[in-house]
Structure 1
Amino acid sequence: MAEDSGQERTEEPTSKKIDDARKKGQIARSKELGTTFVLLFSAIALLLYGPGIGKALYNVMGRMLSLNRNETYDTTKMFAVWGDIAAELLFPMAMFVFIIAIAGIVGNTLLGGFNFSWQAAAPKASKMSPMKGLKRMLGPQAAIELLKSVLKFVLVAGFAILLINMYFNEILHLSIEQIPSSIEHALEIIAWMFLALSCTMIIISAIDAPYQSYNHHKQLKMTLQEVKDEYKNSEGDPQIKARIRRTQREMSQRRMMQDVPDADVVVTNPTHYSVALKYDTERAGAPIVIAKGVDELAMQIRKIAKGNAVPIVESPVLTRSLYHTTEVGDQIPEQLFTAVAQVLAYVFQLNRFQKGKGKRPVALTRDLPIPDDLKH
């Protein structure tokens, strides 16, 4: 995609990109590191258990060459001989194989960690494509692998010649040593030479492991467009989200407007703010804000209130305080109880007067008891 768009991969890979790559089996791996671990620990295992294996082989050979006539022709005796052979070789060979197996697991998971992917294991037609295979063979990665192979050959061959020169006299001396000491000595020489040759792989691994990690990170880098597309896919298209929020806001406003006719009073700024209050003693212990708005929405609230004979009271400070400290559906703050109670008392007295059941109430004071920290 980056190649098709012509954009450069300049952005760091996101966590989603890294997780998706792991699911596909795309993680940093160094074959040289795994090989180095196997070779080094094989040499160590040979040093530890090589003499035991050599002694066991010597005993097995002696046992097999000393079979008597009865053991040769009696099949039951042969099974007993095989049991003796297994007893001799089982422990040293089992420990040797166990160490190599652990080294193989650790060496191959040290870079990138353990990861199993069904997607990577699944057969792919692209892997069988001759053209893609030729492209891989002639690509830059193939050139790097060729360079590593040449470097390995030069290092191993050079160290092998050096080691043969170092152990040349000891190797010749093996011909005059007595058995089984000569076998143990030969295995010891082989183990030390094997260990020294394996150490040459440390040089290759020290170069290859950082390179593989860097190359993997480079391949995971993303273009700016890929980052934007991923954000859209995971978080949603900003334009669609804005449209959804706008629709939700409009639906909320419609529901809010439907509740305005049920309000006991609408307090106003009077031009910029409007807040509709309802006091239902059965459902709440304090008045509730059932609608609020500024500017055009405030005008609509007042218009609906007038059309439904809902009292409108001008109280700029109280209106702004209610607007900024509550949301629709909230009870009014406790600090505003007294001020709102005075407004409701005035409205209830005004309703009684209009119905001819009481005298005209005293005009509502503009200096309502509102704490300074709630004034806006």
Structure 2
Amino acid sequence: MAESDGQERTEDPTGRRLSQAKEKGQIPRSKEAATAAVLVAGMAGLMLSGRSLGLALLEVFRSSFSLEREAVFDPQLMIEALATHIAQVVWPMLSWFAVVLLAAILGSTLLGGLNFSSQAMMPKLSKLNPMNGIKRMFGVQALVELLKSIAKVTFIGTIAALLLRSNLSHLLNLSVEQLSVGLMDALDLLLWIGLAICCSLLPIVAIDVPFQVWNHTRQLKMTKQEVKDEYKDIEGKPEVKGRIRRMQYEMANRRMMAEVPKADVVVTNPTHYAVALKYDRTKPKGAPVVVAKGVDEVAMKIREIAREHKITQVASPALARAIYHTTKLEQEIPDGLFMAVAQILAYVFQLQAYQAGKGNRPTPLPDELPIPNELRH
């Protein structure tokens, strides 16, 4: 289907397009499925509850024709008799109605599910336009529906003719049976033939359901430009997205900087990189965790906060780069860096003890810490 700009609807509908269509009441529905469900369930319900319903009706007839003459002219007795007759019939009828009602709901919602759309309930003046009505009557969709109806009538009529032909001898034998036996036999045969004719709708349903799904998708297909426009609407304009990213980056930075005062040591490049590490001494099997990291201006801000809170800073360019490139925030350092970081933490803890007057001055760290080649950057 060509659009005004020459583009064709070649793209499958997006989730948003399907959601909007559902809000408007545009969902795939199969009338054939609903009809077949009601007919099959109705016939099956009659087969299950028909005996109790027939016995109830028979009792109503018997009691109705056995009324005494005085009761016929007594309004009070007639009202009581009517109530009794209704009570005798209502429960078998209600069970059958319940089966049919449940089948009608399931058959209607089997394809498309339950959907309540206020937009679909709103009156549309365009539907009152006679020209639009004529177009619908003589349009392609009307022609398709006409062909479907002819095919259905032909198919079901053929099935009915075959069933009658196969049971012709049984039908002819009914005339020689006793009245009571013949009636029961005829009713039984009628129910089975009716159920078989109703079941002949199932192949039609099997064809119609996939067709309705395909047709619904086809009607909602989009052009490439519509997909692009929708993506822009969802994602927003580039400048807005950029501003959101900047705000998110700033918020993440603020949260990260708030963790720097909790660190045990800051490993620096010493100018371009800075990594803040925290080690929980109550968890001997745990590893140091990166609570903050950054380069250039962010690294400078980390060092500044570390100075303000008197966090020990250790210059180790290779280790700072290795931690920065191999470890994410709030993650433990890799196994290969345990030895190097352990030496730095031991140095820091000894230095803190020395500054507190509880130990000797620690031995300076070696110029080269043990860093595996695969973790060097």
- Which ranges in structure 2 are unaligned for 5 or more consecutive residues? 257-265, 277-289, 305-313, 349-363
Q: Could you report, residue by residue, the CA deviation over 1:134-174 in whole angstroms, capped at 9, with x for unpaired residues?
A: 33333332222111110111123333344444555655665
Q: How does 1:320-359 map to 2 (within 5 A)?
A: 320=321, 324=325
In structure 1, C-alpha distance between the alignment counterparts of 2:315 and 2:195, rounded to whole Å:
94
CA contact (8 A) 2:28 2:216 kept: yes
In structure 2, C-alpha distance between the alignment counterparts of 1:78 and 1:236, rounded to whole Å:
76
Asked whether 1:40 is paired with 2:59, we answer no
Change (3 A) 1:46 1:317: closer
Change (3 A) 1:175 1:90: farther
Change (3 A) 1:237 1:67: same
User: Match of 2:123?
Assistant: 124
Asked whether 1:195 is paired with 2:218, we answer no
Asked whether 1:242 is paired with 2:246, we answer no
Deviation of residue 73 (structure 1)?
Answer: 0.7
In structure 1, C-alpha distance between the alignment counterparts of 2:55 and 2:330, rounded to whole Å:
89
Asked whether 1:24 is paired with 2:45, we answer no
In structure 2, C-alpha distance between the alignment counterparts of 1:118 and 1:173, rounded to whole Å:
55
Deviation of residue 179 (structure 1)?
Answer: 4.7
CA contact (8 A) 1:339 1:368 kept: no
CA contact (8 A) 1:269 1:315 kept: yes
Q: Could you report, residue by residue, the CA deviation over 1:306-352 in whole angstroms, capped at 9, with x for unpaired residues?
A: xxxxxxx997546645765789999x999768769999xxxxxxxxx
In structure 1, C-alpha distance between the alignment counterparts of 2:163 and 2:318, rounded to whole Å:
95
**Greater Rg by CA:** 1
**Number of matched pairs:** 350
CA contact (8 A) 1:24 1:119 kept: yes
Q: Which moved more, 1:205-214 or 1:8-17?
A: 8-17
User: Match of 1:214?
Assistant: 214
- Which ranges in structure 1 are unaligned for 5 or more consecutive residues? 257-265, 278-288, 305-312, 344-363
User: Match of 1:78?
Assistant: 78
**TM-score of the superposed pair, with normalisation by structure 1:** 0.67
CA contact (8 A) 1:127 1:133 kept: no
In structure 2, C-alpha distance between the alignment counterparts of 1:340 and 1:171, rounded to whole Å:
100
User: Match of 1:96?
Assistant: 96
Change (3 A) 1:171 1:73: farther
In structure 2, C-alpha distance between the alignment counterparts of 1:150 and 1:42, rounded to whole Å:
24
Change (3 A) 1:64 1:178: farther
Deviation of residue 41 (structure 1)?
Answer: 2.0
**TM-score of the superposed pair, with normalisation by structure 2:** 0.67
Change (3 A) 1:292 1:208: closer
Amino acid in structure 2 at the alignment position of 1:80: E
In structure 2, C-alpha distance between the alignment counterparts of 1:253 and 1:200, rounded to whole Å:
69
Amino acid in structure 1 at the alignment position of 2:118: Q
In structure 2, C-alpha distance between the alignment counterparts of 1:328 and 1:54, rounded to whole Å:
78
In structure 1, C-alpha distance between the alignment counterparts of 2:293 and 2:47, rounded to whole Å:
85
User: Match of 1:145?
Assistant: 145
In structure 1, C-alpha distance between the alignment counterparts of 2:81 and 2:67, rounded to whole Å:
9
CA contact (8 A) 1:318 1:339 kept: no
Change (3 A) 1:198 1:367: same
In structure 2, C-alpha distance between the alignment counterparts of 1:111 and 1:10, rounded to whole Å:
24
Q: How does 1:160-175 map to 2 (within 5 A)?
A: 160-167=160-167, 171=171
In structure 2, C-alpha distance between the alignment counterparts of 1:327 and 1:75, rounded to whole Å:
91
In structure 1, C-alpha distance between the alignment counterparts of 2:213 and 2:66, rounded to whole Å:
58
DSSP 3-state at the match of 2:200: helix
DSSP 3-state at the match of 1:45: helix
Change (3 A) 1:339 1:184: closer
Could you say what the CA RMSD is over the residues aligned between the two structures, in angstroms? 5.3
In structure 2, C-alpha distance between the alignment counterparts of 1:47 and 1:248, rounded to whole Å:
67
Deviation of residue 370 (structure 1)?
Answer: 6.5
